[in-house]
Structure 1
Amino acid sequence: MKNHNFIKVGAASPKVKVGDVLYNEQAIIQSIDNALDNHVSILTFPELCVTGYTCGDLFFQSALLEEAIHSIERIRLKTKDLPIFFVIGAPIEVKGQLFNCSIGLCEGKVLGIVPKTYLPNYSEFYENRWFTSSKEIDFEEIELNGERIPFGTDILFAHQHIKNCKIGIDICEDLWAPVPPSTFATLSGATIILNNSASNDIVGKSHYRKQLIEQQSARTIGAYVFSSCGYGESTTDVVFGGHCLIYENGKLLSENNRFSLEESLIYSDIDLELLTNDRMKRNTFYDRSLNKPYRAILFDCRVKHTLLNRPVNPYPFVPQNQDVRQEHCEEIFSIQTVGLAKRIEHIGCKKVVVGISGGLDSTLALLVCVKTFDQLGKDRKDIIGITMPGFGTTGRTYNNALSLMNELGVTIKEIPIKALSLQQFKDIGHDPNILDVTYENVQARGRTQFLMNIANKENGIVVGTGDLSELALGWATYNGDHMSMYGVNGSIPKTLIRYLIDWVAATQLKEKAKEVLLDILDTPVSPELLPPSESGEIEQKTEEVVGPYELHDFFLYNMIRYGFSPSKILYLGEIAFKDLYDQSTILKWLKKFYYRFFSQQFKRSCLPDGPKVGSICLSPRGDWRMPSDAIVKVWIDELESI
């Protein structure tokens, strides 16, 4: 099984007893065993988990400190044959100073020790009484159990054979500082931050804690694995809930239930390629003025490749949470309407012209026009909706187009294109019985010609209806539906358009208009350029020709947003669509996607203006700059080798 640059990380919060080092040691070993049973390769434990965090003045007792050092040695020996990198917390005395430390171990080696930098000494915390900040150290190594061990905050733990697997350390309060140490670690290449913490729980603190980790993982474009001490710590004044969290670039991957009376363990796969590719794109990420020299300490635990333990959203453009989705729909619709309003006011046009087919895209464009005119205080009658029935138009789409325009109160024009098309066939010597690309595109360009000419006549502009999914596949007639004077749907994928229309139906329209929209949503996607069936049903179904849009939107998102390889997109697609498509079906349409995406770039090189609404945009002036003559061979060869 190929790894695809994923690595499984975990956060454990074992049940402890304050000052009972042997008990805590056994609990740590048990957590490591449990983590290995779940194929975890990198694991973090809570702050001072060897002794317990709430020891207070017991930290001044030599017996406790010496036993902690002995325990580190025993843990090292007990885990020497285990394929896992892990970090535990313990107090370590050096030159008469006591440090609150994170100790990194792997396969029988103590690799390095990182002391805590920011010591809280406010409210319920009193760490300055016992510990010294890392800012006070003037050495780079210490002797521990007869070995010279790297010591300091300038340490990164790097896997020898997994590209970009570099680990930095925060310890509890370090995260709460204005500039956490992990900020500098990530600027020096760390992709994963482990945080050993002892964060007690009071009302509202868990929410704020999550916000901090979410923001730090997002700002550093990294993974953040957080483990806090839990049951067993002293409850003299505070209670620790054992909160464990895993974030990746601002996204929560895993979280436990706090206040468990037993050990807690969470884990998830981190996508190192995702993080690295995002950092490559974000040219503001690296700042040499903030660079600090770090020592790379290598480790080489064996990583078992298993099925992913993280969700793969089959519809990455569509928020899964309904409330978030509604919020996004409202925001997208507002971006569209404000963009169109600015264009109308800037050029001083009186009217807009929209071709209405009774399909999804033209419906959304018309709804945007209506909302824009309402906001500008303009008469809806200055929106000219034109239906242009041709050889493939069905009664269903024709009637829906007329009904929608009528319910929205716009000006309706009907211009049949059969006569124009037949004349063009005659002029260019094309047999109308040959239903080829010429047959289709003569109709598409004829419709655009009518729209443009009426816009000139009415002192208006043509509002384009084409969407992001069509642009990605080049599923548009060059200088036909490909062209307009302002394209409001150009960065909205097909899978999201359905939800946008549904949201408009639910929040913006009266009952009769809603009924029309619901039938449009239920209509198969089609350009309707080929004749319908004998029963009058749509015969030409787009997704039977180019493939399911839900697959293509998934391919597009993962290719453009993260730069994933074809084999990785296939791998993720198999997981995301396991109940809908088998591997051969996904592979078939993925090849089709790459062929079309590369060969149709010339259409995207001359797109009309339109508003960007999401993270994926194919505008040649904005997010996507690609030569029209790029060769697809590398991408296809990778898929052919599967």
Structure 2
Amino acid sequence: MTMNFIRVGAACPVTKVANIEENIRNIKICIDKGHEDNIKVLVFPELATTSYTCGDLFMQSTLINKSYKSLEEICEYSKSLDMIIAMGAPLLHNYCLYNCAYIIFNGEILGIVPKSYIPNYSEFYEKRWFTEGLNIKEELITLDFQEDIPFGTNLIFSSGNVKLGFEICEDLWVTIPPSSYLSLMGANIIGNLSASNELVSKNSYRKSLIENQSARTMSSYIYASSGVHESSTDLLFSGDLRISENGTTLKENERFQRENQVISSIIDIDRLNAERNKNISFRDSLKNSCLKPMEVKFKFKFNDYGIFDRYIDKHPFVPNNPKEREVRCKEIFNIQTSALAKRLEHTNIKKAVIGISGGLDSTLALLVIVKTFDMLNIPRENIVTITMPGFGTTDRTYNNSVSLCKELNTNFREINIVAACLQHFKDINHPVEKHDVTYENVQARERTQILMDLANKEGGLLIGTGDLSELALGWCTFNGDHMSMYSVNSSIPKTLVKYLVGYVAEQEAQDRISKILTDILETPVSPELLPKDKNGEISQKTEDIVGPYEIHDFFLYHFIKQGASYEKLLFLSKEAFKGDYPEEILEKWLNLFIKRFFTQQFKRSTLPDGPKVGSISLSPRGDLRMPSDASYGSFLD
């Protein structure tokens, strides 16, 4: 597929119980719809040719023979289609009737997968008709229209990077689903042909089951269940259709529909394979798997997935749903405060020292400290907060830092660094008017020296404030704000820092503190290391220099999470930020991101301790073991 994307689908045709001719007519309508939508893998419900609720009619040879004829008809109908069709139908073999998935491609049956587990409890009594296929491996089936068809539960259908495996309904509900083994045998897309009836609250459980299995197997999971036109003698089916990928539902239908239904979604094969490559436990599981796959090879002729309608979240670190976002923020604060509490208890330190700039990062770190001290019943006066105005400090950030520290009842102090920096310029013979990197870093290191020395003097722990986005870009001064004794924000990206501060402002802070936090949120991001402009405002805006943090956070997520290439990062960013930024701007900041990520690794190699709160961290002791002198040339377009 182009950049290893593929469109897959799930279908629920209108059914007439035991009326195979009518069922095939509706199945063909769904196949046509799938073809129009550029679907490459289309999964139908369990026993779709006959309908699931035929009961003792499954013992009638007429029904079975007509089902075979319908399969031949579907093969003939699909000869010119570049599509895998997973069709549910019965198979009579050696006097045993099996509930099967027939995998059809380009006019022939590539293989037949029997249902491994036959439910025979509560409302299900399938063993009256069907035999379990759990132990069937590498057998061959001959039908009137095709010979030597592979038959077994270990079939993997393979076309390049696309590896397909199939299971049927109950197989998903057992202790170890066959799809777990199929994934270990290489399948990255699992199809489930199902007939799952509706009961109160069953749908939410079924959804979580599908999402969890797709996460556990690091696969895409296509689920298609029988619809409302099945017999309602004792049960009602809803036609539940779902497509999940690695724990997330990409597409689901509206249940209880009375017309033919087909849903589709684009699957990112690269993403799934990257997750498996990184997950050592998955690789270890491969060693313990005694199953050997029977690979059935085929080849898609085309790679067109049609209109790219896959949703790409421009803020992958931040949940879209406000309620979910609130829960996430609360959980992150719990991680940060619990981690800091452990460090304070271990060192038996009762004081914390922190530099407050009036910016987002130091504000978040201070809020974490305050919450931790309250939790440990340590008085807030033991929190030594220091603001250190310099050449670029504006009235807005200065007033916000002073007001916030006082409102939080911390031990507030002010140390102006201008005189010390001027003396240092003189000592190293650096012109004051030369506003270069030395000019900036002198201030950052002067502040860190003050904080370190005060932490020693007070017997306190210096808390770092830098965030994940700054670390990714190396937007920090080595042995300046880069260094601390414990760093609580080190795995929180800038886009999420904003929401965390906003969460406190909205949910936990009193009116006066809430207003200060809101103004901090509205202040441009800046290190304030260059002199103010003529109006006394911030002249050095970080996002004007290195680019918008929302773009860099997006690049960081996909670069680390799935090892996305330059081409794919640019493609995904164009989709995510469509209408927000022109392509040339995205390309400009992508080039800068790649260069800075590689050249600034030496700063990340010497990071202080700090808790991991999300799926991505750049800690040299944990997630990122990267040489400081790696070249970025091959990673640019």
Q: Please report the TM-score for the alignment, with normalisation by the length of structure 1.
A: 0.97
1:13-33 per-residue CA deviation (whole Å, 9 max, x = no partner) reads 000111111111111111011
Counterpart contact for 1:13–1:244, Cα < 8 Å: yes
Contact 1:474 1:603 in 2 (8 A): yes
Shift of 1:438: 0.8
CA contact (8 A) 1:18 1:51 kept: yes
CA distance in 2, matches of 1:551, 1:135: 49
Amino acid at match of 1:430: H
Provide the C-alpha distance between the structure 1 equivalents of 2:7 and 2:350, rounded to a whole number of angstroms: 59
Q: Is the 8 A contact 1:231 1:262 kept in 2?
A: no
How far the C-alpha of 1:137 sits from its partner, in A, is 4.8
What is the match of residue 74 of structure 2? 75
Taking a change above 3 Å as real, the CA distance of residues 138 and 43 of structure 1, as seen in their structure-2 partners, is: closer
State how 1:150-161 maps to structure 2 within 5 Å: 150-159=150-159
Residues 1:195 and 2:185 aligned together: no
- Whether 2:220 is the aligned partner of 1:223: answer yes
In structure 1, the partner of 2:25 is 26
Q: What is the letter of the counterpart of residue 309 of structure 1?
A: D
AA matched with 1:300: K
Greater CA drift, 132-141 or 533-542: 132-141
Cα distance in 1 for residues equivalent to 2:74 and 2:528? 70
Deviation at 1:349, TM superposition (A): 2.3
Report the equivalent of 2:335. Answer: 335
- Asked whether the 8 Å contact 2:115–2:171 carries over to 1, the reply is yes
Give the AA of the match of 1:475. W
What's the % identity of the aligned pairs?
Answer: 53
Aligned to 1:108: 107
- Match for 1:73: what amino acid? E
- Matched with 1:557 is 557
**Deviation for aligned residue 1:7:** 0.7
- Residues 166 and 192, structure 2, Cα contact 8 Å, conserved in 1: yes
Give the secondary structure class of the aligned counterpart of 1:516: helix
Per the TM alignment, residue 121 of structure 1 is displaced from its structure 2 partner at its CA by 1.2
Structure 1 partner of 2:528: 528
* Within-5 A mapping of 1:140-539: 140-148=139-147, 149-159=149-159, 162-163=160-161, 165-286=162-283, 287=285, 288-301=287-300, 302-539=302-539
Distance 1:203 1:135 in 2: 30
Residue 625 of structure 2 is matched in structure 1 by 625
Q: Distance in 2 between matches of 1:202 and 1:624?
A: 46
CA contact (8 A) 1:188 1:291 kept: no
Letter in 2 for 1:446: E
Cα distance in 2, alignment partners of residues 422 and 152 from structure 1: 79
What secondary structure does 2:385 align onto?
A: strand
Cα distance 1:137–1:522, how it changes in 2: closer, same or farther (>3 A)? closer
Q: Deviations over 1:209-255 (max 9, x none)?
A: 11211111111111110000103211111111000111111111111
User: Structure 2 CA distance, aligned partners of 1:36 and 1:51?
Assistant: 23
User: What SS does the corresponding residue of 2:3 show, helix, strand or coil?
Assistant: coil
Q: Is the 8 A contact 1:184 1:291 kept in 2?
A: no
Does the CA-based 8 Å contact 2:478-2:603 persist in structure 1?
Answer: yes
> Is the contact made by 2:72 and 2:145 (CA closer than 8 Å) also made in structure 1?
no
Q: Any residues of structure 2 matched to 1:560-639 within 5 Å, and which?
A: 560-636=560-636, 639=637
After superposition, the C-alpha distances for 1:363-395 in whole angstroms (9 at most, x for unaligned) are 111111111111111111111111111110000
SS in 2 for 1:532: coil
Q: CA deviation at 1:315?
A: 0.4
Query: Is the contact made by 2:244 and 2:251 (CA closer than 8 Å) also made in structure 1?
Result: yes
Pairwise CA distance, 1:446: 0.6
Cα-to-partner distance string for 1:481-521 (whole Å, 9 max, x where unaligned): 11111111111100000000011112222110110000000
Q: What does 1:102-141 correspond to in 2, within 5 Å?
A: 102-135=101-134, 137=136, 140-141=139-140
For these two proteins, the number of residue pairs brought into alignment is: 633
- Any idea what SS the aligned residue of 1:306 has? coil
Cα distance in 2 for partners of 1:458, 1:204 equals 57
CA apart distance, 1:97: 1.6
User: Runs of 5+ in structure 2 lacking a partner?
Assistant: none
In structure 2, distance between residues paired with 1:309 and 1:65: 40
Please state how far the C-alpha of 1:138 moved relative to its aligned partner.
Answer: 7.8
Alpha-carbon deviation of 1:307? 3.5
Match of 2:40 in 1: 41
Shift of 1:136: 6.4
SS at match of 1:54: coil
C-alpha displacement of 1:350: 3.2
1:444-499 deviation line (CA, Å, top 9, x unaligned): 11111111111111111211111100000000011111111111111110000000
Q: Is the 8 A contact 1:231 1:261 kept in 2?
A: yes
**AA at the equivalent of 2:63:** L
Deviations along 1:291-345, one digit per CA (max 9) or x if unpaired, are: 3111111122333143423211100110111111111111111111111112122
2:545 aligns with 545
Q: 1:317 to 1:135 in 2, by over 3 A?
A: closer
CA contact (8 A) 2:39 2:305 kept: no
C-alpha displacement of 1:179: 1.1
How far apart are the structure 2 equivalents of 1:503 and 1:70? 62
Do the aligned residues in 1 keep the contact of 2:193 with 2:225 (CA within 8 Å)? yes
**Contact kept? 2:14, 2:258, Cα under 8 Å:** yes
Change (3 A) 1:118 1:393: same
**Residue type of the partner of 1:237?**
D
CA distance in 2, matches of 1:130, 1:350: 71
1:154 and 1:348 map into 2 onto residues whose CA distance is 57
* Aligned partner letter, 2:177: P
Moved more, 332-341 or 44-53: 332-341
Cα contact 1:83–1:303 (8 A) shared by 2: no
**Contact in 2 for aligned 1:350/1:382 (Cα 8 Å):** yes
The aligned residue for residue 54 of structure 1 is 53
